[in-house]
Structure 1
């Protein structure tokens, strides 16, 4: 197992306790935080990776589609199919 010690953020446990919300926000933004005890690395705070198949927010996929994509047409076709099979109610 290789440990990457060139992380962008390092914090001692004392600093982590007093600014936990700030470091959790950094992890949410995609950064990794190396947590140290007496300047020795003991843990990492990393972004949460949802298991495969977990629904994602539409805002997370913004920018994946380009203007030439037929997403809108496919979405409307799917809505029509779902409405037509009686399995969903509005």
Structure 2
């Protein structure tokens, strides 16, 4: 899939979460990267707007994206780095 831009940042669709990662009992190791919907955000983020941009390149079902050399997961209020 093609890369897309969101708030001036470039994202590459990477993959969906696998069955084990989707298991609610398993906790993913997620780390804040400062892109969120909170007042202290270094870069503002909105989940729906992020996926509107992802959908333009056919990535509406993707869970993990590459951004600046790291894997990120879009969550309701924040983009998190996926450490595993």
For the aligned pair, the TM-score class normalised by the smaller chain equals under 0.3
Rg (Cα) greater in structure: 1
Which protein has greater RCO, CA pairs closer than 8 Å, 6+ apart?
2
More strand by share: 2
More helix by share: 1
